[in-house]
Chain A
Amino acid sequence: QKEVEQDPGPLSVPEGAIVSLNCTYSNSAFQYFMWYRQYSRKGPELLMYTYSSGNKEDGRFTAQVDKSSKYISLFIRDSQPSDSATYLCAMSFYGQNFVFGPGTRLSVLP
């Protein structure tokens, strides 16, 4: 079993749809949960991070962490074509290296 699993997609949705992206993980020690967006041939950029369980909202983006289920989600409301990218989840515990999921490719169609 991989440490972090993520559906690679591709996921195609119409503009304006709500997008749900998910990751599952096996290491219960993870405390920090991040979502990165990566455009083609670019480095990842941080969208959101969450410490421990709970929800966090930033504009059109909402991150959820359920540590009991070892499951994290990223929701994108009112999706735009500019949201088309690969979304990577990443996890760590304090002072330790990040472990990335394989990424989900998202296409938002105009």
Chain B
Amino acid sequence: GAVVSQHPSRVICKSGTSVKIECRSLDFQATTMFWYRQFPKQSLMLMATSNEGSKATYEQGVEKDKFLINHASLTLSTLTVTSAHPEDSSFYICSARVRTSAWNEQFFGPGTRLTVL
């Protein structure tokens, strides 16, 4: 299957700082990438859909000015958590949609664990 990487895998930051997370599709082009957040023992909650070359579409309740998404190329999307606070601590997972798949299959990255002190 297709491979999606995320960097960093873990980050600890101070409250008020910004953190950037990268999501890369390593062996395929992804016109659409998704960003999810997962709190302990809970399911994945879609935060936003990122389309290459256009603005991201955010889910209801997700602050677009706080979670900045950039999808500058067909293999890279970034999520920047601005002015992070302890309540932003979570597991952030990206996925990339395989365009050629009949059912728009998504491949998931390994996730990034963010801890805000």
A residues within 8 Å of B by Cβ?
8, 32, 36, 41-46, 49, 51, 88, 92, 94-95, 97-98, 100-103, 105
B residues within 8 Å of A by Cβ?
1, 4, 6, 34, 41-44, 46, 49, 91, 93, 95, 103-111, 113
Give complex CA distance A103, B107 in Å: 18
Q: Is the CB of B111 within 8 A of A41?
A: yes
Q: Is the CB of A43 within 8 A of B103?
A: no
Q: Is the CB of B108 within 8 A of A43?
A: yes
Q: Is the CB of A44 within 8 A of B34?
A: no
Q: Is the CB of A43 within 8 A of B93?
A: yes
Contact of A43 among B43, B49, B111 (CB under 8 A): B111
A55, chain B: closest CB distance, angstroms: 17
- Of all chain A residues, the one with the shortest Cβ separation from B109 is A43
B86, chain A: closest CB distance, angstroms: 19
CB within 8 Å for A42 and B41 given contacts A51-B103, A94-B104: no
